[in-house]
Amino acid sequence: MTGIVTLTAAGAIDATYRVGTLRRGAFARADSYAREVSGKGVNVSAALAAGGADTAAVVVLGTDDVRFARAGLTAPLLRIVEVPGATRVNTSIIDAGGATTKVNAPTPPLSPEAWDATISALGVELAARTSPWLVISGSLPELAGTGALVDLAAVRAIAREHGARVAVDTSGAALDALLADPVGIDLLTPNAEELSATVGRPLDTLGDVVTAAREIVSRGVTTVLASLGADGLIAVTADHEVFARAEAPSVANTAGAGDAALAGFLLGLTREPAAGVDPLAVAAASAAEWGAHAVAHASTIVEGPPLGIRAVIETTPDLSHALTDEGQA
């Protein structure tokens, strides 16, 4: 099976509080509290492992939290690059109605030495796998002393060196920098809001999303997988689009659904499709099922495959269909 290596250059500790009611400016006592090593690449690798894939998560963590990380459920997947101090904490507060309020800590800068160590760890993991995927996930830190984000040129170079296909799930300045030179990116996974910001206009219908995705494809990206939140998702290539949607058995925590959907898409792509079956449809269905599976989990780390969840697939979707959700995942 194809190996998949994820990069989380800004690792995190996820803290999740469950409260009955959340009111601005008021005191609330949590009904429960959970803490786990996270970051988008770690979440992706956890879902991949739950689906039976060979995966490793290269993640930058503060030394203060390494002992905690090595005792967690994801410990076997982690390839930790240690930096001084504590890891940033991202906080989710989920009320009794299922609404999630999320506050992410700022991303601390990374020293040149730590960035070099991160690149080296990626090289080791990619070299250990045949025809691997490299998934670049989450926010990117600044390179200390430069005022600029770490340069992904070295990451893309090491991917080419090891024949790795590249998937990217990031936003903001990091996404803008990648889209300035996107040739060689095999898969890009924005949500509707990020895609809208990239093309500079609102996306009101499925057709608007497809048109925007094709603009990105025309720049050199092979496939765009656009998450539309409760509306589902759509995979778009230069000449083909597939829409997929799956019902979640319940909604416990929406954080991490996009990470699970990306993992599901890669799991679908790495399967050998039956004769006559569209591989893009298989991957899109798998993405929708894993995303629905994730929102039923209390934590951002999913356990086990999405049993009993089946996606509805449309290989000729109605492009006039109006979007009802903001598309965030």
DSSP result, 261-324: HHHHHHHHHTS-PPTT--HHHHHHHHHHHHHHHHHTSSSSS--S--TT---EEESS--TTPBP-
Q: Give the pair of three-digit tokens for residue 228.
A: 């539309």
Buried b or exposed e, range 123-154, using 16+ CB within 10 angstroms:
bebbeebeebbbbbbbbbbebeeeeebbebee
Phi, psi of 103, rounded to the nearest 5 degrees: -125, 115
Residue 260 is classified by DSSP as: H
Nearest to 62 by CA among 105, 31, 95: 105
Based on the residue annotation, tell me whether 31 is a catalytic residue of this protein: no
Which DSSP string do the residues of 134-186 spell out, in sequence order? EEEES--PBBTTTSSBPPTHHHHHHHHHTT-EEEEE--HHHHHHHHTS-TT--
Q: What is the C-alpha to C-alpha distance for residues 165 and 184, in angstroms, rounded to an integer?
A: 8
What is residue 247's three-state secondary structure? coil
Question: Residue 54: what are its φ and ψ, rounded to 5°?
Answer: -85, 115
Catalytic residue among 169, 176, 259, 325: 259
Show the tokens assigned to 232. 């589902």
Pair of tokens at residue 127: 């070299």
Q: What amino acid positions are annotated as catalytic residues? A: 259
